[in-house]
Structures are given as structure tokens and as C-alpha cells.
Amino acid sequence: MSPTPMNPAWKNTPSGKLRARGLGLPFEGICGPHNAITDVAGVSVGYATLIAGDGALVQGKGPVRTGVTAILPRPVETIHEPLFAGFFSLNGNGELSGTHYIEETGKFGLPITITNTHSCGIARDATIRWAVDALAERYHDDFALPVAAETYDGFLNDINGFHVEARHVIEAIDAAHGGPIEEGSIGGGTGMKCFGFKAGSGTASRRIGFGGEEFTTGVFVQANFGTRRHLTVLGKTIGADPDLPQMQSGAPDKELSSIIVIIATDAPFLPHQLKRLARRATFGIGRTGGMANHGSGDLFLAFSSANSDFDSGAVRTVRFVPDEDMDPFFEAVVQATEEAILNAMIANEAMTGRDGNFAPALPHDAVRRALGLAE
């Protein structure tokens, strides 16, 4: 498998924000052309971002620092077709809907949405509304159990103001596209923080050769977890540095933290194998210093776009990689999860939210110094 030619999307987001590779971080593995979950053919990502107001919290009015992320696992014209999937909860202090059906049948369908904790229900319901309107024939008299997930943004956002509406969810789904995607404080990641720094949405991918074929595994995270002193970048613990900028609180930080990890692959896997794949996100999080604290909802979903014939009424045939040959794919998930988390922090800026609560950006020069990289 030959390396992908250098792509500007490895270094910068579409808006020009510096990504971890642009900072010079020497990651392991070979990434896809955009180093994003969208490197898996057919997968697209869309956002709706809500930022308004400053100053003291007035419930229902703001300040608002929130949004919705939509991940479409298939193109819209085939979005109703199910995919094999697997779910893993490292720590269950959070929500990811649809998991009972995934555990029961090993599959799911429709867009995945990620938002703040108190908007998870409306994201789920609005996804069904979108399906009923956009796919009228398919969902005229059927049921839907879409995946909706959340992390807590109440440190910066008026989370009890319920500012995310059905129209914002549909906006994110309709905005979904392939290719390079934005990272940082955007979509559901708008109000999130990680290790005491501003964080949010991040992505990365890896290419894997097996059996004479080339496959892609992509990861998307909504990162909102971790204790400052544990922050680790490529093996260097940098969070304890007293010179790093600190968070400022005009209102208490409830230290409610979580991470959602969505793993997409075009490699053929069965549901139990996708659960195994999802479980490996644990190690990518651990590389950055995450420890699945009590208050953290660390919830991971993996899906494969490789098999598509799920119609009832006949015996079906599927392809799969043998369990004994999954190690390179496990490694890809670990590597891409670690990089996606760091992208969520590095491609970001400081943010002030409700009551003057402040989340600083991770200083790029501090990362370079810790790793001995040239300025």
C-alpha cells in the first residue's frame, strides 16, 4: 500500500484552522486523502452551529454555545438501508439512543446525530421527522430507531434553554457532505471542552491493506472529557504545566464530561466484530490521558458500509474479515481516535460562554515545545 500524496486537508481545516498534522505532530499510520471519517466512501458530515449572546445566564435566552452534528453513514438515496453495527459503553454516564436495537439485531439505519445532553431527544425525534419527509415511501408506515448521542455543554451554554430545535437537526442533516470537514467548536461540539481546554468536533482516518484489498477506517469524536493534569500528547504529559492558560469560572463547573466516538469502515465486518472494533476506541482515549471518570459518558459506535443486502425472504450472503486478522484494524481505530481528539483541541480557539465562563485554547507553542518540534 503506497502512502497517500500530501493533501492540504491533512494540515488545515477548510476554514484554515491548523490541525495536529499541520502543527507537525508525527502520527503513526497512513491516513486517507482528507484524514477524516468522510474518507470512507458514502459517509458525510453536516453541522448546525448556534452561537449567540454574552454575559450572565438568562435561562431560555442564553448565552448560547451549542449545535448539532449529523453523520450520514450512507448517501441519502440509500440512507434507509441498514448497516451492520456494534456498540460499546466504556462508561455509561451518557446517552446514545438506538443501542437496544443494535444489541438485538447488530444493525441500524438513518443519520447519526450528536448534540448537547438536553437536546438528545429532539435530535432523535427530528431525525425521524426528516426521514418521514425525505423518504416518504420508505417511512410511510414503518418504524425508526435512529442513533442520537450527547455530551454536556452546560459550562459554556444555556443548556436548559433548549435552543436546539428540530429545524437545526434537519439543517445539519441537509448540510452533510463528503471531503474535508470542519473541526473544533462547530456543530454538537460547539460548547465542549477537553482536559480544561476548548475542544469539540474532531476526525481522522487510517488506511489498511488486507487480503490484496485496501480499506479505510475513519473516526469522528465529540470530545468533552478529561482532567487537565492527565493531558498527554504523543506520550508527553503536558497538562500539569503551570504556565498553561487556565479555565475561568463565573459559575461552577460541574465537571460533567463525556466523549462520543463514531467509527466508520468500508471493511467487511460482522456485528460482533464491530463491537470489538468500537471497544478499541478506549485505547485511543487512554493515549490522550482519558480515564473514563465516573461522570463521563464514554460511548462508542462502529459501523461497516461493506454489506448492503439485508432484505428479508431469502438466505443472504455477507463478506467478513476473519477475527484472527483484525489486529491492523484495531490499531487503526486506536491511532485515529487519538488523532481525532487532538484535532478537536488543536483546530480550535478560546471561548467565553455563560456567566463569563472561559475555556482557553490549547496553546500550539506548548505542544511543540513538549514534543521538541520546530516552531
User: pTM of the prediction?
Assistant: 0.97
- 326 in helix, strand or coil? coil
SS3 117: helix
Domain boundaries, the chain: 30-371
Helices then strands, counting H and E runs in the chain, come out as: 8, 16
25 has pLDDT over 80: yes
Residues known to be catalytic? 258, 296, 298
Q: For 294-307, what is the mean pLDDT?
A: 96
At residue 105, the pLDDT reads 96
Per residue in 196-225, pLDDT (tens digit) is 999 999 999 999 999 999 999 999 999 999
pLDDT number for residue 141: 64
For 30-371, CATH number?
A: 3.60.70.12
Q: What is the pLDDT of residue 343?
A: 98
Cross-strand pairs, 48: 68
The predicted pLDDT at position 257 comes to 84
Question: Cell triple for residue 287?
Answer: 493515549
Helix (H) / strand (E) element for 328: namely: helix 327-346
Mean per-residue pLDDT for 174-195?
98
